[in-house]
Amino acid sequence: MTLHALTPADEIQRRIARLQDAMKAHGMDAMLISDNANIYYTSGRVFSGYVYIPATGKATYFIRRPEGITDGEVKYIRKPEQIVELLSEEGASLPAVMGYELSSLDVMSYRRLVNAFPGVTPADASPVIKSVRSVKTDFELEQLRRSGIRHQRVYDLIPRLYKEGMTDIELQIEIERASRLEGCLGIFRIAGDSMEFFMSNILAGDNADSPTPYDFAMGGAGLDPSLPVGADGTVIKPGMSVMVDSNGNFTGYMTDMTRVFACGQLDEKALQAHECSIEICRSLEKAGKPGTPAAELYETAMSIVRNHDLERYFMGHKQKAGFIGHGVGIEINELPVIAPRSRDILTKHNVIALEPKFVIPGVGAVGVENTYIVTDNGLERITNAPERIINLM
């Protein structure tokens, strides 16, 4: 079994080098990574253990499980306390300042690591890693494009999956199956513990106006108070919109895409809001270039919404989301955040999802979501399913 699996060794080196540049700029002498998403980013596979990255020199992979990885700078350990000893056997000096993933590491694990490195000053590596990961390499862009193509194929199938009289969850289950047959990995990585989700979010009719605890753009009551989000068993009927926001994780890198379906014609207000969403996308595609403040994209979107007098429906009706887009990659909530008070500035090869959505009472949710690569010429769309509302009948 190889450490880097499907990711070329020079790609891993490129990522490590970027992290090292950022570490130096932030006064860190090393970082110790244990979050699965970051382990995948810095090695090419998920393993149980730690990646030790000095500001200069080679990364060392301290692996607990799985057994049998033989290549690369791999050392097997049973517990993190062995890392110090193994590093000193290598002749490596201990760092003065070590970065840990303070946004994802639990307190007990953190204390244990800090105790294992006596005399080493801990620092927060999470912002550094998030920032580096927000700028995708060519290899990562390729994974995202591949996900986008397969993601579109699933959306193309949806009209054939619908049968008259179906509930939202019955349609969702058929979309889940079609996704999985297309190669969707199913899991949906979200940084932090507080957001939960299963596979996709299908909202039919007024269920879109049910507020959710989670920090997603749209809500839905869900089927059980233990997971109060998404489909709630609503029977799909003419006049309702059916918004499909389905998992695009086909490669370990996720695209995010939303489309709207309906049985027959929707109310005029909903059609107008859907067109407004597409207009926002077209406008932001031009505006979104390296150097553009994320907050400016939000303001541009808001001014279009105001022009159409649709503020009260924008990003939710009873409960509103505070953002219209977010970075995406290994996780669904990466940088930059497209929100009014965001300080993020768009950078070349950021990958962002934009989701200007509306909830129209009596109809449901409308609007599209696309995933984009930030390029010198604006945003390159990599989720290319048709954007118009598709009739299921």
In contact, 344 and 293? CB cutoff 8 Å = yes
CB of 375 to a copy of itself, least distance (A): 25
Q: Token pair 């269920």 is at which residue? A: 207
Give yes or no for residue 96 binding a copy of itself (CB under 8 A). no
User: Of residues 55, 128, 199, 202, which one binds a copy of itself by CB under 8 A?
Assistant: 199
Per CB under 8 A, the segment of 11-19, 50-58, 90-98, 171-179 that binds a copy of itself is 171-179
User: Of residues 54, 80, 148, 219, which one binds a copy of itself by CB under 8 A?
Assistant: 219
Give dist(CA 310, CA 144) in Å, integer: 32
In contact, 369 and 387? CB cutoff 8 Å = no
Amino acid in position 212: T
Give dist(CA 179, CA 199) in Å, integer: 9
Least Cα distance to 330 among 139, 58, 71 occurs for 139
x/- map, 104-123, a copy of itself, by CB under 8 A: xxxxx-x-------------
CB of 317 to a copy of itself, least distance (A): 11
Q: Which is nearer to a copy of itself, 228 or 288 (CB)?
A: 228
Give dist(CA 292, CA 283) in Å, integer: 13
User: Of residues 214, 261, 323, 358, which one binds a copy of itself by CB under 8 A?
Assistant: 214
- Cα–Cα distances (Å) from 115 to 19, 110, 314, in that order, read 24, 9, 49
User: Of residues 24, 160, 163, 177, which one binds a copy of itself by CB under 8 A?
Assistant: 177
Give yes or no for residue 245 binding a copy of itself (CB under 8 A). no
Phi-psi region of 384 (alpha: psi -120 to 50; beta: other; left: phi over 0): alpha
Give yes or no for residue 76 binding a copy of itself (CB under 8 A). no
Size of site (CB under 8 A) for a copy of itself? 67
Query: Cα dihedral sign for 82, 86, 87, 91?
Result: positive
Give yes or no for residue 251 binding a copy of itself (CB under 8 A). yes
Where along the sequence are the contacts to a copy of itself (CB under 8 A)?
1, 5-7, 34-36, 40, 44-49, 64-68, 100, 102-108, 110, 124, 126, 169-170, 173-174, 176-177, 180-181, 183, 185-187, 192-194, 196-199, 210-215, 219, 223-228, 251-252, 318-319, 330
